[in-house]
Amino acid sequence: MNFLGYVIRFNLSDYQDKSAVRAKLGYGPEPLVVCALGGASVGKGLLDLCGQAYPIMKRQIPDLRMVAVGGPLYSPQSANLPHGITVKGYVPDLHEHFAASDLTIVVGGGTSTIELTALRRPFIYFPLERQFNQQIFIPQRLARHEAGIRMSFGKTTPIELADLVVNEIGNHVDYSDIPVDGAKKAARIIGDMLGV
């Protein structure tokens, strides 16, 4: 049996210079928090929670910038978030915003959390309730890599989230290395099987 590792959509070496990534995306030097739903609208409540926590964070980090990314099934026009939060719908290269961030808050999906782990960015994740993959499999995988901070959406208040962000934003993380060349390994195995 061959373990392929993970497949990510980008070259990690392109995102080692956070200042360059931020400049490319139009961000300044201010502390940046990205809140993202990923590919579903089911986690809309998470953006609402981030919005409720935002004024509390701003009291302690006055120059904080927050970007809320709703995904392809979320309309920015439906957002009811505080003034000052930048609201985006679908962002095709969301990993770039992850790379630019000082901390990211996400639903506990596999793609987002592995990209954040590979990029070595601090992140907080909220697994969807009663979703086996996000409640069991993904947290086990992240625990092996010592990555991310797991929270429960139903048990987290805006004050608790704000305090956690203030304590964790910009912190150095020391996640274990993860193999991200899964696509190359798969191609090599398939090529060997086909004799090419």
**What pLDDT shows up at residue 23?**
96
Q: Could you tell me the pLDDT band of residue 73, with boundaries at 50, 70 and 90?
A: confident
pLDDT for the residue numbered 42:
63
Task: Assess whether pLDDT exceeds 90 at residue 128.
Answer: no
The residue behind tokens 């960015």 is 121
More confident residue, 95 or 184: 95
Instruction: Write out the H or E segment, with its range, that includes residue 67.
Output: strand 65-69
HSE at residue 55, side-chain half, CA atoms within 13 A, is: 5
Compute the distance between CA of residue 124 and CA of residue 122 in angstroms, rounded to an integer: 7
Which residues on neighbouring strands pair with residue 179, listed in sequence order?
none
The gap from C-alpha 143 to its chain's centroid, in whole angstroms, comes to 16
CB 118 within 8 A of CB 98: no
- Segments making up each domain of the chain, as ranges: 12-194
N-terminal to C-terminal alpha carbon distance within the chain: 20
Coil vs helix vs strand at 68: strand
Report the C-alpha gap between 161 and 154 in whole angstroms.
Answer: 12
Does the pLDDT at position 1 exceed 80? no
Whole-model pTM over 0.85 = yes
CATH number of this structure's domain 12-194: 3.40.50.2000
Tell me the pLDDT tens digit for each residue of 130-141: 777 787 889 898
Rounded CA separation 134/140 (Å)? 9
Asked whether residue 54 carries a pLDDT value surpassing 90, the answer given is yes
pLDDT at residue 193, as a whole number: 79
Taking the C-alpha atoms of residue 178 and residue 5, their distance in angstroms, rounded to an integer, is 8
The model's pLDDT over 80-99, given as tens digits with 9 standing for 90+, comes to 899 999 999 888 899 999 99
User: What does the mean pLDDT of the chain come to?
Assistant: 88
For the cut 70, the answer to whether the pLDDT of residue 41 exceeds it is: no
C-alpha span between 15 and 22 (Å, rounded) = 10
In this structure, the chain runs to a length of 196
